[in-house]
Amino acid sequence: IMTASVSFGLCSCSKTGLNKNQMAVYFFQAGKADAQLIYTDDTAVLIDAGDKNYGDKIAEYLKKKGIGKLDALILTHYDEDHIGGVPTLLDDVLPDRIYVSNLPKDSKETAALNEALAQNSLVTTLVEGSEAVELDLDGMKIKIDGPDEKLYEENDSNNSSLITEVTYNDHSLLFMGDAQKNR
C-alpha cells in the first residue's frame, strides 16, 4: 500500500495533528484504486473509497487521526475502484453528505453501495452539469462540478466523473476522478 500526504500550514498539533490554520491531504493508493482524504482539525472530506478491500483501511486511518465522521463523501463515479470500499467504510464512519455522479452502473459494487446506503438511511445528492455544489467547511472552499453530458461516446463512466476543486488559504487542488474529456 502506498500513501502520500501533503499539509499546508504550521502545526501546534491537536487530535488530528493539525492546528487551526492547517489542512492536510492524504492520498490512499491500493493498486489502481482511488481515495483521497482532505481534512482540517474540525472537518474531513473523502473523495472516493477505493476498491472493496479498502474501506476498512480508510476507517483505520480515520480512527488513528481522531476523525469520527466525514463532513462529505464525494464519489466521483461508479467504477469498482472508486466506490467498492464504501460499504465497509460505512460500518465505521458515516458521512453527513454524499455526492454522486449521474451515471450509475449496473454492477454488484453499485448494488452493494446502494444496499449500504439504505441500511444506514443515507441519501445522495446528484451533481451534474451547470449545477455545481459549493461548500465552505472550516476554511476549505470546495466546488464539486458534475458532468455536462448524460452520456459520453467514449469511456462513459470515467468521463462522467465529478471534478472537485479544493481551495484553502492560497492553495488549490483539483481532483479529477478518471475524467478524460474536456467538459
Is a pLDDT exceeding 90 seen at residue 99?
A: yes
Question: What pLDDT does residue 182 have?
Answer: 61
Question: What pLDDT does residue 122 have?
Answer: 97
If one compares 85 and 13, the residue with the highest pLDDT of the two is: 85
Torsion sign over Cα 146, 152, 154, 155: positive
Q: What is the mean pLDDT of residues 72-99?
A: 95
If one compares 58 and 13, the residue with the highest pLDDT of the two is: 58
Which has the closest alpha carbon to 38: 160, 134, 174? Answer: 174
pTM metric for this prediction: 0.88
Q: Provide the pLDDT confidence category of residue 145 given band limits of 50, 70 and 90.
A: very high
Question: What pLDDT does residue 32 have?
Answer: 79
